[in-house]
Amino acid sequence: MSVLFDEVNVCGMTLKNRFVRSATYEGYAAVDGQPTERLARLYYELAEGEVGLIMTSATQVDGYKNLPEVEGLPYPTAMDDDKFIDHWRPIVDGVHERGSKFAMQIVHPGRSDTPGLRRADPIAPSAVPIEATGVTPHAMTTEEIKASVEQFAQACRRVKEAGFDAVQLHGGHGYLISNFISPYTNVREDKYGGNTENRARFIVEIVERARELVGADYPIMIKMNCDDFVPGGLDSDEAVKVAKIITEAGIDCIEVTGGIAESRKQTARKSIVMEMDEAYFRPYAAALKENVSVPIILVGGLRTPSVIEKAVQEGAADLVSMSRPFIQEPGLVKRWKEGDLSKAECVSCNRCGDNVFKRPLVCYIKEKRKEEEKLFAGRKE
C-alpha cells in the first residue's frame, strides 16, 4: 500500500494516514461564532471519508461583536470566550469517534480585517495601506501587541480544553501573524520590527505564553507564508530564517502557504490541469525540510495520488494537505485507499474560494450537478 496510507506519528498524534484537510473557511457558524449542526456534519463527513487530520476553518481569537443576524450570511467561528469550549466538545468527540484527529486553526485578520464588521480600523504592526481597498490599518502599540499575544494564547488554551488534538496558528495570507513576519507589512523600528528575529518575535511570544497554558507537549502548529509574492515581501530564504526561530521557540509543525492581499499569484491557483501544475508550494516545503526538524505539511494544488506520493517519498514533506478537493469530495481519501486512484474531481475553478465570504461554502460544480439531477428527475415524473 502507498506510503500515504501508512500510520504516522506527528507531534505526539498517531494519524491513520498522511492526509490533512487544510483549514477552509466554511461560513457555517452562528451569528455569535458558535459552531452549528451543519458545521459538525461537515467535519463528520470528512472523518468518515478517512481524512487523517482535519483542520477547522480559521477561528477568530477576537470575534466580531453584535453582528446582525441575517439568514444565509457566512459567519465565522470564534474562540475568544470560554463559553465556546462546551459547544465544541461534542463535535470533537464526534470526529474522534469516526477515527480522525482534529485541530483548530486560530487567526486574527490583521490588516485584512473588514472595518464594517469590526467597527474599527484594522490593526497591523505598521500602517501600510492596502491599495486595492484604500484601507490603512492602525499601527499597533506595544500594549496592543501584548494584548493580542494574550488573545492567541488564551485561544490555544480553549482549544486544548475543548478536546482538540492540536492548535494551528494562521501565519499566512496577509493576516496578523503574517503581517508581523513580512518586511512588506512590518516596517516598525522597535523590537517587533527590522531584522528577522524581531519580526518573528510576535510568534515567539505567542508560543511562549501558550506553553504556560497548554504545557510542553501539546502540539502547536503554524500555517506560514513562505513567500508573499510581492516585491519587498517575505521570500523563501527569509521564511527559512523565520522557521528556524519559531521552531526553536516551540512550534511543532509547519504547513506552507503563500500570498497576501497585494499578491498577483493566488494562494488557491486556478487551471490545475496537468500534473506539472500541481504541488506548487513543493519547493518551499522542501526548503523548510532541509533546515528544520519539525514535520512539514505540503499544500497547494494536489490532485493526483502519484504526485502526492512522490512528494512524500522524495522527502519534500511529511504530510499532505488539501482544501478544494475535499469541498467536492469529502470521501476522496477513502476512494483512493479503496483502489480508485483517478485524480480528484475538483477542476480548480475556484468559485468556492471566490465566493466564500459572500455565502456559506459550497462546491459550485457539485451544486449545479444536483440542480440538473433534480430537473431531470422532475421531467421523468
**Catalytic site positions:** 175
In sequence order, what E strands does 89-181 have? 101-107, 123-124, 138-139, 166-171
User: How far apart (Å, rounded) are the C-alpha atoms in residues 61 and 81?
Assistant: 9
Residues 263/188, Cβ–Cβ less than 8 Å: no
Residues 4/309, Cβ–Cβ less than 8 Å: yes
- Cell reading at 42: 461537515
Closest CA to 101 of 43, 35, 172, 57: 43
Cα dihedral 296, 297, 301, 304 sign: positive
- What is the maximal distance between C-alpha atoms in the chain? 72
Residues 299/331, Cβ–Cβ less than 8 Å: no
In whole angstroms, how far apart are CA 368 and each of 26, 306, 372?
A: 19, 29, 6
- Cell reading at 274: 496537468
- Cell reading at 234: 517575505
- Strand 101-107 relative to strand 53-60, pairing: parallel
To the nearest 5 percent, what fractions of the chain are helix, strand and coil?
Answer: 40, 15, 45
- Cell reading at 253: 509543525
Closest CA to 296 of 279, 278, 316, 310: 316
Closest CA to 182 of 136, 141, 242: 242
User: How far apart (Å, rounded) are the C-alpha atoms in residues 344 and 239?
Assistant: 30
Question: What is 81-104 written as a DSSP string?
Answer: STHHHHHHHHHHHHHHHTT-EEEE
